[in-house]
Amino acid sequence: MGRVVVLGIFAADLAFTAPRLPHPGETLLGSAFALGPGGKGSNQAIAARRAGADVAFVSRIGRDAFGEMSLSLWQAEGIDTRAVSRSDKPTGTAFIFRPEGSAENAIIVVSGAAGDLNAEDVTPDLLDGAGVMLTQLEQPYPAAQAALARARAAGLVTILNPAPASREAAALLPLADYVTPNESEAALLTGCRVDTIEDARAAGDALIDLGAGCAVITLGERGALFHTPDRSTLIPAMTAGPAVDTTGAGDAFNGAFAAALAEGQVPFEAARFAVAAAGLSVTKPGAGAAMAHRAAIDALIAARA
């Protein structure tokens, strides 16, 4: 069992389903509501743990009901929370809008207490015995930068999931052995349109030119492009049923990718493993609760062999 350290936030996901978003000053009746665990960091920690890794999570939560929700969740999943601190600020939350009849979504995230994460939250002792550091960008950049730099110095494999993306995130790419954007994030980081597979390859080249060791660009229902200076291969999506909710697909991919790398899978096969995990996640509603378990991932890969 490889060890993965994940830096990120927990957010209580408040998901609303309605025909459309309301205009300013308008009230709409929705057709469904769900409250569940989310936040990219927490989702990815759960995904890595369910995929077979020993996982430590670095975050901050509030002294409130959502904070208690997160601690109960991580305890049930077997995640090491010694690097999770409490704050008088509220725990993170996310508004998720789901159009009726669609698996797509629109999201607003408030980081809450985790917005105070900083360079001091990732301590050297936390990295002892770990193989992979994974971070996203829902917490402040200085915390992500410190995590990647300290992990690199300690000999860990580093993964940057540049979400939410901005052009400033390009400065972190030299610290990333792997960068894992989706199409829109890759386009924002590089200035390249990512509509076709060849577009994705051009974006992959640009990401490597900016300092990343390898670009793994997730392409939704098309799968993922594994792109290095010497190899560019499309890994087709693996479906396990109709798509119900795409909210946590990218998190499922990243957590499973980190777990596979930590246990010693070769990078391309680790990316294929992650594609299978993402394909399973979209068949269930919610984010953290939809992360795939190892047995299901292995079964889906075997069925596609």
* 125 among known catalytic residues: no
- Residue 184 phi/psi, 5-degree rounding, is -70, -35
Pairing outcome for strands 80-87 and 54-62: parallel
Q: How far is CA 104 from CA 3, 42, 286, 289, in A?
A: 32, 21, 12, 17
Which one is catalytic: 54, 177, 251, 298?
A: 251
Closest CA to 40 of 63, 57, 24: 57
Which residues, 6 or more positions from 72, have their beta carbon under 8 angstroms from its beta carbon?
Answer: none
- Position of tokens 């990333």? 176
State how far the Cα of 166 lies from the Cα of 249, in Å rounded to an integer.
20
Q: Which residues are catalytic?
A: 251
